[in-house]
Structure 1
Amino acid sequence: MHKHLPQDTIPGDRNLSKWIKLMRNVVLGFLGTQLDRGGKLGWRPTVGMCQEPGFEIDRLELLYDRKFNRLAHDVRREISKVSPETEVLLQRMDLDDPWDLQEVYGKLFDFAQNYGFDEDRERYHIHLTTGTHIAQICWFLLTESRHIPAALIQTGPPRKGEVEAGTFDLIDLDLSQYDAIQKRFDQQTREYGTLLKGGIETRNRAFNSIIDRIEHVTERSDEPVLILGEPGVGKSELAQRIYEMKLQRRRVKGRLVQVNCATLRGEIAFPTLFGQRRSHTGIAGSERAGLLREADGGVLFLDEIDTLGADEQSLLLHAIETGRYYPLGSDAEATSRFQVIAAASQDLSVLVADGKFRADLLSRLNTWTFHLPPLRDRRDDIEVNLRHELLRAEQKLGSRIGFNADAADAWLRFSRAPDTDWPGNFRDFSGAVLRLCTLAPRGRITLSQVNEEIEALKHRWATASKDDDANLVADVINEEIDPFDIPQLAHVIRVCQSSKTLSEAGRKLYTVSRAQRSSVNDSDRLRKYLARFGLSWEDVSS
């Protein structure tokens, strides 16, 4: 006798009988139209299974076709002799073609849906030995998907020289029971998460939650993915990693084709996307395949899709939905099957409300939407990203580079400070670290270097934000104010817009002066400051 039983459920053969008694054993299986006749070996698998020592079958549900009614009743009589405690229920299931996968799976699926499994009182098993190979495949699929909550039984004839009922193997497909297999799944999950995070052990809870969700979606869905976030948060890099994961999981075979939608304007937009035939120009060498054709079998990454013009949006929507389009100058329809990842810096729903983006295109793209947080909301990830950028810089420059202790403290203090907004997000951060590494004397970044870089960043951000400040203030307040008040008020508005509460905004704005005051009420200070301009928290936080 040969057994394979779940070890974490059954401690050992001595406890087998005790375990079996806990619940009623129910076996489902097909009548063996050839094997259950006995044949030369005299071995009848359905009957032999009911004779298995230590495995008492309380109920056997035997599926049979009407053409084998006599054999089914004969097997039931034989079982009543060798195992009188086993109740045999004959379940008629007529099959026009037992080798037709669609028919067999459909009827077994309906059988499972209507069976009424009672897992609190009964333990279910599927007898795989009998029935066609198609039936065995269908049993396996329904069991593996847990449509049938059962373990699998495989029986075999007695080995040469043995007089037992035959071999008996019991296999449970609930993989969570097997520690080694579960560890491999967990390891693979960690590897995919690391891939999506670019190898960075991020600590930010919100970002890690997004990555976990993206991993599940990438593994199970081919629907479009929409990535939203400010410029520089890493949308393009994430799209590349999603593609790499799809490639590893064999969900795509083709290339990742990136389209910068901001460049798709005017006459070049159509041939760039859909291709062009020589018949349109008559000039040799003027043919082009088009980006949609290049993405066939792969992923089309529509970067900055919020900048796409109205005409291009319409043409692209049809191609995404149908996979069909007409190249420029061609009367023959072309086809291309691709998956879509889109990225945008602006809120597309706002653009739809303003009539600048098609609502139907947004509906097609936002099956899965992910908002990447800006760097200012991921300050707990700055140190690990700094280490990552140092490694990247070392690879580019071909030499080892490090911070002096005081320089590292100064850089991290500045990078994490509440009033360091990082308007360019990781793009600014990465560029700054690369400059520090490139200019580091003898591979050591000094405090003076860090101070110079900080001043350069502040100057650049201040210069770039002057017009933005004026526009932002004008959107919130109607009256004219003194020019020297504009930068400060704009900064306050931005902090308020990025904060959930008045208290949080106050803590960010008064982080330095708070230590110099005996009585601290940041909310009241911020409320009074806004009141000077006739503003309230509600006016500036939306």
Structure 2
Amino acid sequence: MAHLLIVDDDDAFRDTLAETLQGFGHEVAAAAGGAQALVLLASAPPFDAIFLDHRMPGMDGLETLAALREGPFPAPPVIVLTAFTGAANTIEAMRLGAFDHLAKPVRRETLRAVLDNALQCRAAPASETAAPPQAGDGDLVGHSEAMREVHKRIGLAAASALPVLVLGETGTGKEVVARALHRYSGRARRPFIAVNCAAIPGELLESELFGHVRGAFTGAAAEREGCFRAADGGVLLLDEIGDMPLDVQAKILRVLQEGEVVPLGSNRAVRVDVRIVAATHRDLGAAVRDGKFRADLLYRLDVLSIRLPPLRERPDDIIPLAELFLRRAAAGGPSKLLGADAAACLSRRPWPGNARELRNAMERCHALVRHDVIGAADLDAILDAPSFGAGQEPAAGLPDDWLAQPLPLAVERLERLMLEHALAQAQGNRAEAARRLGIHRQLLYRKLAQYGIDG
């Protein structure tokens, strides 16, 4: 039998939860708020676990959790219960040391399983240097169970300095996760530097990462600091690390092992304190077997991992994300709304480009739809039919509305669709997308920048 404490301002919910926990064979005490809970904790026999509501008048759940972690004695495992499951709430609760973060209502079997696990371990203390969260979690929108697990993993990883490997298909938001890890960590006031390893030619990537001294190679007219030194004390995102050349991988391994970099053309090592977050859409295990990725580097990177689910695995998040992107496209002005038929259409699409493809689609809708409510017919016309986005060949002919607009605008729309289609087919690999389109990679870069496409 465990000694449990329930902290919740809702009398009915508190009584129901107490009855359930007593039915499990435990002894239960209750508090109606955070301040009353702290008094109980100081005066009553030690509790084995705490169930803590998030939204309460006065001292709310997160303030209570922070006070518990700052107390003179180790706090028992805390399970936060909330009806408000936004990314910031979940991440902050886990960062502060919550054992778990459950959405109300909680199923009886889930409650029992989480409690049993909590009673077998103690909650880890939060990082003393962790900075308070800041705004900017919009792209982490999602109330699906899959995304809530991502939020929890971010919160747990934020207090650590260990490397993190973020896995997910192209467009799922791997950089968004890396930025959240930085924002909720003790390094939040230090630099965040992102490098796309697939977008920089191999011969330039080493200089980009490690820097060089003057005269290190032809054209090196001045010293370059490099991303590792620029990120000192902060976080460095190595995006698409699966595309990094093997010789550069060996030098990344040295940084992880020794904590120092050697600029090109120099024999002097420079100490750096950088947390590495690596991201990729590739199967690194398969790359190791194919001899394209170092096994020792994978072992050092894959200490903490976060897998981002594709949109097709979390369809409940599609409409909230689409509405967010429409509001952003409005840039503070009146935002267009999604009609019920348009929302149903969006939910049925497979979105091979994931959140990035959805964002681009909503930006096009905001720019091209003239009325306030976007309908399914608007989506069919603007997105050039669902089958095109699904990775199939576009239907023969052009939609009727294309023939009623100026030729330059129609050409731009077609060019943009072809760029997005090629990137989706190439899984975000720009070199492969350029090959499919039959153009030089530099021209592809210019076109992507012209249309604001993040490939």
TM-score range, shorter chain: 0.5 to 0.7
1:207 corresponds, among 147, 150, 153, to: 147
8 Å Cα contact 2:164-2:303 kept in structure 1: yes
| 2:278 equivalent to 1:342 | yes
Cα distance between partner residues in 2 of 1:188 and 1:254: 20
Taking a change above 3 Å as real, the CA distance of residues 173 and 457 of structure 1, as seen in their structure-2 partners, is: same
AA matched with 1:437: H
Alpha-carbon offset, residue 322 of structure 1: 1.1
Whole-angstrom distance in 1 between the partners of 2:138 and 2:161: 22
Q: How does 1:381-392 map to 2 (within 5 A)?
A: 381-392=317-328
Aligned to 1:261: 197
Shift, 1:202, TM fit: 2.0
Residue 243 of structure 1 corresponds to which residue in structure 2?
A: 182
What does 1:104-503 correspond to in 2, within 5 Å?
Answer: 173=73, 189-190=89-90, 192=92, 197-198=137-138, 202-219=142-159, 221-246=160-185, 250-251=186-187, 253-281=189-217, 285-395=221-331, 398-403=332-337, 408-417=339-348, 420-463=349-392
CA deviations on 1:282-315 (whole Å, 9 max, x unpaired) are 8784221111111111111000001011111111
Could you tell me which runs of 5 or more consecutive residues in structure 1 were left unpaired when the two chains were aligned.
12-18, 24-118, 121-143, 147-170, 179-185, 467-542
* Aligned partners of 1:8 and 1:177 also within 8 Å: no
CA distance in 1, matches of 2:333, 2:269: 54
Are the counterparts in 2 of residues 253 and 297 from structure 1 also a CA contact under 8 Å? Answer: no
Amino acid aligned to 2:40:
D
- The whole-number CA distance in structure 1 between the counterparts of 2:394 and 2:247 is 33
Could you say which structure has the higher helix fraction?
1
Note if contact 2:172-2:354 (Cα within 8 Å) is conserved in structure 1. Answer: yes
Q: 1:358 to 1:8 in 2, by over 3 A?
A: same
TM-score (norm 2): 0.57
Unaligned stretches of 5+ residues in structure 2: 1-36, 48-67, 79-85, 94-132, 396-455
Contact residue 265 and residue 309 of structure 1 kept, 8 A = no
Structure 1 residues 353 and 444: alpha-carbon distance in aligned structure 2, compared to 1, 3 A threshold? same
- Partner amino acid, structure 2, of 1:459: F
Q: Tell me, in whole angstroms, the C-alpha distance in 1 between the residues paired with 2:299 and 2:306.
A: 14
* Alpha-carbon separation, structure 1, partners of 2:197 and 2:226: 14
Q: Secondary structure at the match of 1:431?
A: helix
Relative contact order: is structure 1 or structure 2 higher (C-alpha 8 Å, sep ≥ 6)? 2
Instruction: Say which is worse superposed, 358-367 or 408-417, in terms of deviation.
Output: 408-417
Matched residue of 1:286: which SS?
Answer: coil
Deviation at 1:223, TM superposition (A): 0.2
After superposition, the Cα gap between the structure-2 partners of 1:276 and 1:438, relative to the gap in structure 1 and judged at 3 Å, is same
Q: 1:93 — aligned with what? A: none
Distance verdict in 2 for CA 1:442–1:275, change over 3 Å: same
Contact preservation (8 Å) 2:352, 2:389? no
Question: Matched residues in 2 for 1:187 and 1:263: separation?
Answer: 30
Q: How far apart, in 2, do the equivalents of 1:335 and 1:465 lie? A: 53
| Post-superposition CA distance 1:114-144 (Å, at most 9, x none) | xxxxx89xxxxxxxxxxxxxxxxxxxxxxx9
Structure 2 CA distance, aligned partners of 1:465 and 1:354? Answer: 34
TM superposition score normalised by structure 1: 0.48
Counterpart secondary structure, 1:280: coil
Q: Distance in 1 between matches of 2:91 and 2:69?
A: 25
Percent identity (aligned):
30
Task: Give the secondary-structure state (helix, strand or coil) at the position aligned to 1:441.
Answer: coil
Shift of residue 341, structure 1, vs aligned partner: 0.4
Q: Distance in 1 between the 2:298 and 2:189 partners?
A: 26
Which residue identity is paired with 2:335?
I
What CA distance in whole angstroms lies between the structure 1 residues aligned with 2:305 and 2:41? 42
**C-alpha separation in 2, matches of 1:305 and 1:465:** 32
Other structure's SS at 1:262 match: coil
Question: CA RMSD, aligned part only?
Answer: 3.6
- Give the number of aligned pairs: 293
Larger Rg: 1
Contact 2:165 2:278 in 1 (8 A): yes
The question of whether the paired residues in 2 share the 8 Å contact of 1:399 and 1:443 is answered with no
Give the partner amino acid of 1:434: E
- 1:84-111 deviations in whole A, cap 9, x for unaligned? xxxxxxxxxxxxxxxxxxxxxxxxxxxx
Distance in 2, Cα, partners of 1:354 & 1:324: 29
C-alpha distance in 2 between matches for 1:188 and 1:460: 31
SS in 2 for 1:263: coil
1:10 deviates by 8.4
Structure 1, residues 366-387: CA drift from partner, whole Å, max 9, x if none?
1001111000011011221122
Between the aligned partners of 1:299 and 1:262, the Cα distance in structure 2 is 19
Q: SS of 1:268's equivalent?
A: helix
In 1, distance between residues paired with 2:329 and 2:277? 29
Q: Does the C-alpha gap of structure 1 residues 346 and 266 become closer, same or farther in structure 2, counting only changes over 3 Å?
A: closer
Q: CA deviation at 1:350?
A: 1.3
Q: Secondary structure at the match of 2:171?
A: coil
Amino acid across the alignment from 1:445: I
What is the SS of the residue equivalent to 1:357?
coil
